Amino acid sequence: MNRFWKDYPVLFHELNQVKDLIKKNISSREKYLEEAILPMVDGGGKMLRPAFLLLSSKFGEPDPEKIYNIAAVIEMLHMATLIHDDIIDDARLRRGSETVQYKYGKEYAVYIGDFLFCQCINMLANYDYNMEDLKNISKALTKICMGEITQYNLRYAKHASLRNYIRIISGKTAALFALSFYTGANEAKCNELISKSLGKIGYNAGMAFQIIDDILDYDGNTEQLGKSALRDLKRGYYTLPLILALEKDKDGRLLKLIDNKDLSDEETKEIIELVNLYNGTSRAKEVADRYTEKAIARIEKLPNCESKDIIRSTVINLLKRDY
């Protein structure tokens, strides 16, 4: 986190408060449990979701203690979903570090994720939050879960459709981004128009963020992302660059390649080449850009303040990549 927010000392300080709150809420008489979660808190995550929540809250009149608490909850929910996802994906690395499931075993990872969920609910129940925000949080949780389940169920579905892909990433990524933006504003008693607009900024930024992440899988490398290149493909998750490339795959060569569940390095390389040849990545970038533009257009209409500037720079920094 350190480097990412270094230009914004107030936000940086606040995110450290959130981090301390997370640490306090994962402390437990089971030291093993704390040890398993701590590296995730201190690791290289950008804490984007709590940062967006804090920034959004500044459009209203935030009660710092309540806002830090809910920001911590959002990050902990995110951590819980990552831990459970890594079980499903059998992932060895996450943000360049070994995953909980790899280090402690899948069994333990199930409970560690559950423990984080429980602590989130405790943290929400013990503050006097707006009932509407609680409803939104629980709705977003279901969306995330359904997104993951749909993604899992559609593994190896050769004719993966754009529509399903959009549905999946709306759930698994954009829902929590939208929630962070909206809840920050709503808890700070912003007027409904601004809160909703911030929620939509979150949604569009989240969509672009996930698409870009999926694009990097087709032209990034392991060192850069801290995760194995093309891990999604090997697990049968067909993301946007591949879906768009398949539309141009007239001779069925690409389709035949991905049909193989045990891909060699050679075949993986060929898939990447074909996806790029068929403009899968460049067309996916266009889709991401459309979401980014929508987010930026809405940002421009927000009332002028420092938060607006930080949100704009951050969205541009994250989403306007050179690839």
In whole angstroms, what is the distance from residue 47 CA to residue 286 CA? 26
Stretch that binds a second copy, among 16-24, 127-135, 172-180, 244-252 (CB under 8 A): 127-135
Would you give the binding string for a second copy spanning residues 72-111, x where CB under 8 A is met? ------------x--xx-----------------xxx-xx
CA 92/CA 141 separation, integer angstroms? 25
Query: Applying CB under 8 A, which of residues 134, 257, 263, 318 lies at the interface with a second copy?
Result: 134
Helix (H) or strand (E) holding 94: strand 93-94
Q: Considering the complex, what minimum distance in angstroms separates the CB of residue 134 from a second copy?
A: 5
Q: Which is nearer to a second copy, 133 or 219 (CB)?
A: 133
Dig out the tokens for 80 from the structure.
């819980």
163 binds a second copy (CB under 8 A): no
The encoded tokens of residue 33 equal 């449990």
CA angle 195–295–320, rounded 5-degree value: 145
Q: Which is closer to a second copy, CB of 60 or CB of 236?
A: 236
Bridge partners, 93 (sequence order): 98
* CA–CA separation, 224 and 231 (whole Å): 14
Does residue number 30 form part of the binding site for a second copy (CB under 8 A)?
A: yes
> What does the alpha-carbon distance between residue 308 and residue 197 come to, in Å, rounded to a whole number?
12
- Residue with tokens 């459970």, as numbered in its chain: 84
Interface residue with a second copy among 38, 93, 145, 225 (CB under 8 A) is: 145
119 forms part of the interface with a second copy (CB under 8 A): yes
Does position 139 bind a second copy by CB under 8 A? yes
93 by DSSP, 3-state: which?
A: strand
Restricted to residues 269-298, the positions that interact with a second copy (CB under 8 A) are none
Residue type, 306: E
Does 166 interact with a second copy (rule: CB under 8 A)? no
Nearest to 260 by CA among 272, 276, 251, 271: 271
- Closest Cα partner for 155 from 144, 166, 145, 164? 164
Q: How far apart are CA 30 and CA 226, in angstroms?
A: 29
Task: Report if residue 126 touches a second copy, rule: CB under 8 A.
Answer: yes
Residue 125 in contact with a second copy, rule: CB under 8 A:
yes
DSSP 174: I
Q: Please report whether residue 117 would count as binding a second copy according to CB under 8 A.
A: yes
Q: Could you say whether residue 35 binds a second copy (CB under 8 A)? A: no
C-alpha distances out from residue 140 to 170, 180, 206, 313, Å: 10, 10, 13, 26
CA dist., res. 304 & res. 279, Å (int): 39
Q: How many residues bind a second copy (CB under 8 A)?
A: 40
Nearer to a second copy (CB atom), residue 122 or residue 260: 122
Q: Which stretch binds a second copy (CB under 8 A): 16-24, 136-144, 178-186, 310-318?
A: 136-144
Residue 122 binds to a second copy (criterion: CB under 8 A): yes
Using CB under 8 A, which of 20, 24, 28, 247 touches a second copy? 28
Q: For a second copy, which stretch binds (CB under 8 A), given 138-146, 156-164, 266-274, 278-286?
A: 138-146
CB of 146 to a second copy, least distance (A): 7
By CB atoms closer than 10 A (0-12, 13-18, 19+), residue 221 is: exposed
CB 230 within 8 A of CB 189: no
Q: Which is nearer to a second copy, 131 or 193 (CB)?
A: 131
| Site of interaction with a second copy (CB under 8 A) | 28-30, 32-33, 84, 87-88, 106-108, 110-111, 113-115, 117-119, 121-122, 124-126, 128, 131, 134-135, 137-139, 141-142, 145-146, 148-150, 152-153
